[in-house]
Each structure stands twice: as structure tokens, then as C-alpha cells.
Amino acid sequence: MRRVVVTAWLIWLPLCAAVADIYRSVDAQGHVQYSDTPSPGAELISSTPSPDMHTGDASTSNSATSRDASLMQRGDQISRQLAEQAAARAVAQDQAEARSKQCQQAQQMYQQTIEARRLYKVGPDGERQYLTDDEADQQRVNDRLAMQSACEGVSDQAAAGGATSSAAGSASSSSAGSPAPTQ
């Protein structure tokens, strides 16, 4: 829409300037008036060359055409810059949402390992292999570090707000003593 308005304005401006002379007059109350028709006591402010005067019309037309082309080119450049900025903002927002989701998942995993009494790994044959107390403590430390890493730079409100919503568990080598372990 903006491009259409600018284009119409650029086309209209030279046509208006070519149409009439501009006269300035002051009325009895001291108000200044501008008009395209002469009135008694009016002075000519700007004048356009008469149609029979062809000196300089080609250069004026060429300069107007090049000016119009330059303005259109600048308008296109600004439109591209605005589109690039909008895309960059959208990417930044998508990345922030992904980081927030990863933080929420890491918080849930850490909370599960803290609340569970026993942790286990799923063996290659699908059996549960319960961790020793030292291994479980180390797994809790690892999950806490993973949570801190995932939540680094994520606002506290975004991380806390999503902690109540359910999200899929993150990939971990161990699981809390829950019915459906994650790997």
C-alpha cells in the first residue's frame, strides 16, 4: 500500500507543478493566500514555462525520470530492508521459544530425578538396570548442569511459566523410577 501511495505521489507531483503558476496575495485582514489564478495585487511566486518554450524540457524530463527511478529504487531497497528485519525478528522469536521449551524439558527431567527414590538405565535387552546411590547422585548433578545450561539466557518468567505445562521428556541415559522411562 505504501509503495502505491509513494508511486502515485511521485507521478502526481510533477503534473501539478506543470499545470499552473502560483500567485501570492495578502487580503485586507492580512491573511496570506496562495492561488493558481492571478488576483489584483497578487505577485507571481513560481512560474512554469509555457508549452511553446521547449528549451530545457528534455533535460528537465530526463532529470525527473532519473529522480523518479532513483526514488523507486530507494523505496525498493527500504522494502527489502524491512522484510529482512521482520524475518530476523521472526527467527529470533522462534529461537527464543525453542530455548524456552528446551529449558522447560530440562527442568522437568531434573525435577523427576530429584523426586525419584531410585534411578535406572534401560539396558540393551530392555531390562532396567538400577543405579547405585553414587551413580544416582552423579546423574542428578548431570541433570542439574544440563538444566542450567539449557536455561542459560532464558528469562525466568518464560521458564517458570512453562514448568507447569506438560512437555515431552528430554533425552537422558537414566530415568526416575517411573513406569515409562526415557532414553
Q: Residue 13 falls within a domain, yes or no?
A: no
pLDDT bracket for residue 32 (50, 70, 90): confident
- What is the tally of structural domains in the chain? 1
Residue 171 is part of which domain span? 91-176
pTM attached to this predicted model: 0.46
Q: Which of 139, 124, 120, 134 is nearest to 182 (CA)?
A: 120
Residue 40 lies in a domain: no
Residue 130 lies in a domain: yes
> Is residue 162 a part of any domain in this protein?
yes
More confident residue, 172 or 135: 135
Cell 521449551 locates to 101
Whether residue 182 contacts residue 137, with contact meaning beta carbons closer than 8 Å, is answered with: no
Is residue 135 domain-resident?
yes
Q: What percent of the chain has pLDDT over 90?
A: 37
Residue 34 · residue 24 · CB < 8 Å: yes
Write the CB contacts of 182 (distance below 8 Å, at least 6 apart in sequence): 109, 169, 170, 171, 172, 175
